[in-house]
């Protein structure tokens, strides 16, 4: 079970630091950092890596319960943190231009973040141990069943959107490498 909201507070703190850094770059260069320049590329790459970690590491840990790689609650907190900070960095990478495939990828990113916020709310309604295992019999059986059904429904939406997001992101990255690097 998630105890407190430290992953959210850390994400907010890092978001504020990123905003200050971005503002500093805007102030020094007297313009919005271009997505294709060093700062824009850097935050885009780091943000994408964080998002990729969000997508893969927590899912991998969930499927390997027998491995002693830390508590599930800690992995979920990491998932939430990277799932907020990574997309924020990718948003800063856009240079506030949302057209074409990059715009569609940004839209999918926003949708997946909001979906994740909804999923976190549903997840906290299901009582769990510190290791993330569901506790049986603490709520009335119908409330627990309803929460599980909501979580299952949420997964049927969240996971395909995440897959579409990463497919779109990989096409965007491939296009950026091709057009910005290989054609020069």
Beta-bridged to residue 17, according to DSSP, are: none
DSSP per residue over 106-175, as a string? Answer: HHHHHHHHHHHHHHHHHHHTS-B-TTSPBPSSSS-HHHHHHHHHHHHHHHHHHHHHHHHHHHHHHHHHHH
* Predicted confidence band of residue 2 (pLDDT cuts 50, 70, 90): very low
pLDDT digits (tens, 9 = 90+) for 55-71: 888 778 777 766 667 77
Q: Are 115 and 80 in contact (CB under 8 A)?
A: no
* Predicted confidence band of residue 138 (pLDDT cuts 50, 70, 90): low
pLDDT digits (tens, 9 = 90+) for 15-71: 999 999 999 999 999 999 988 888 998 999 999 999 999 888 877 877 776 666 777
pLDDT of residue 126: 64
Q: Which residues contact 105 (CB under 8 A, 6 or more apart)?
A: 165, 168, 169, 172
Residue reference for tokens 């290791």: 131
* Predicted confidence band of residue 82 (pLDDT cuts 50, 70, 90): very high
Instruction: Please tell me which of 51-65, 99-113, 120-134, 141-155 the model is most confident about, judged by mean pLDDT.
Output: 99-113
Query: d(Cα 184, Cα 168) in Å, to the nearest integer?
Result: 24
- Positive or negative, the Cα torsion across 179, 40, 88, 78? positive
pLDDT of residue 67: 63
pLDDT of residue 139: 52
Two structure tokens written together for 59: 């899912």
- pTM score, two decimals? 0.79
């Amino acid at each position: 079970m998630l105890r407190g909201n430290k992953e959210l507070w850390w994400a907010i703190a890092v978001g504020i630091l990123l905003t200050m850094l971005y503002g500093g770059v805007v102030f020094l260069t007297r313009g919005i950092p271009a997505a294709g320049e060093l700062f824009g590329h850097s935050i885009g790459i780091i943000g994408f890596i964080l998002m990729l970690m969000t997508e893969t590491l927590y899912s991998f840990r969930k499927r390997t319960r027998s491995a002693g790689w830390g508590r599930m609650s800690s992995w979920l907190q990491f998932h939430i943190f990277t799932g907020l900070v990574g997309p924020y960095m990718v948003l800063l990478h856009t240079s506030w231009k949302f057209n074409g495939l990059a715009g569609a990828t940004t839209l999918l990113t926003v949708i997946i973040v909001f979906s994740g916020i909804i999923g976190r709310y549903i997840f906290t309604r299901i009582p769990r141990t510190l290791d993330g295992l569901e506790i049986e019999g603490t709520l009335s059986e119908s409330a627990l069943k309803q929460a599980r059904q909501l979580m299952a429904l949420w997964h049927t939406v969240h996971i395909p959107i995440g897959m579409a997001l990463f497919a779109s992101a990989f096409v965007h990255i491939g296009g950026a490498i091709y057009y910005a690097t290989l054609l020069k």
